[in-house]
Structure 1
Amino acid sequence: MSDGDIRAAFAAHPTFEDAGDGAYAPTTNDWDATVVVEDGAVTVTVRVPTLSASVTEREDVAPVVEDGWFETLALRLDDATNVTRAEARGDPTVERDDGDVVFEATIDARPENAGDDALAVVNYVEGTWFEGIIPGYDYREGVQDLRDRAAGNAQADQL
């Protein structure tokens, strides 16, 4: 498929906005994510905070805990492209960068599925990150807000 067809699909998708230069950003997510269309493929990049960047400044995360948390997250994110109808181009990468975990994966794109496939990958990364948050720490405001919202949703589901 042509890049123009895929870009048109992202432009028409209700949860993406044009970020310029063939890039699109989802509007429904909590962390930074971008999608770049190039050479008939879609590259999805998601940045989420590391565990130590998520906790308050009053607490320290032991290096062994941080490393184990990151290794587990990276292993779980290996499957992120399995949530799409598209074929992956190579393996995803997961790296640490100044307090962030940066996930990147490239998938072949078909215009009719490109937006939904890219959003599924973004949601998978964010959900997997959230599932890996370790109880017992005091978290920064943005992370604690997510935890509170999840707890409220769980309580509402039980009613």
Structure 2
Amino acid sequence: MTDVPPDVADAFESREGFAESDGGYTLETTSFSGRVTASEGETWETNYEVTVRAPTLQAATADDVGAAVRDGWFDTLERRLEDAPKATRTAVELDEYAVERDGEEIVVTYRFSLGGERQAADVAKTFVEYVEGTYVEGIVPGYDYVGTVAELMDSASTGGSEGTRGGTPL
């Protein structure tokens, strides 16, 4: 992280699963790409941005997914991901929240401010894990899933990882 107090960097470096990367930290314990950056806040707080990248429904399946299913799935995911602060053990108020399509990826962004560096690291990790878990819970049955999503589904249902799978883990 650039231009942040040393105690913020220390908090992220001491948390299991975070690795320093390009002026921020990536969470290496999830299948989806989760990244955290921080900057000085106006008061005693630090501003954090958590960005998670996941495949769109169409990118996660070998099948053609109709527009109504794609759009309905995306809208539902967007509404469900807004509840991420409720999954934390810290009272977190989001400064900004966004879910956007970027080609074959969905980009989820949470911005928040906190004074406790250790708490912020825990919140950031929870947000990334929440996105991944919510995504998997929202898998639409009946499609042949591939890549990372297939591996997540296989892991959820059998504890293994083969790379292709259909149906739902639930």
SS in 2 for 1:54: coil
SS in 2 for 1:113: helix
User: Are 1:148 and 2:154 an aligned pair?
Assistant: yes
Give the deviation of 1:20 after TM superposition: 3.2
User: Are 1:92 and 2:130 an aligned pair?
Assistant: no
Instruction: Decide which of 67, 74, 78 is 1:70's aligned counterpart.
Output: 74
TM-score in terms of structure 1 length:
0.87
Distance 1:13 1:115 in 2: 7
Distance 1:90 1:111 in 2: 17
| Structure 1 ranges of 4+ moved more than 3 A | none
Between the aligned residues of both structures, percent identity stands at 38
CA distances 1:11-51 after superposition (whole Å, capped 9, x unpaired): 11121010132x00011010111000112121100001110
SS in 2 for 1:46: strand
2:134 maps to: 128
1:24 maps to: 25
- Give the helix-richer structure, 1 or 2: 1
**Alignment gaps of 5+ in structure 1:** 154-159
Distance 1:3 1:43 in 2: 16
Structural RMSD (CA):
1.4
TM-score in terms of structure 2 length:
0.82
- Give the strand-richer structure, 1 or 2: 2
Count how many residue pairs are aligned between Structure 1 and Structure 2: 149
CA distances 1:58-101 after superposition (whole Å, capped 9, x unpaired): x2100010000000000001111222314334231001110111
Instruction: Decide which of 105, 110, 116 is 2:122's aligned counterpart.
Output: 116
Distance 1:7 1:98 in 2: 32
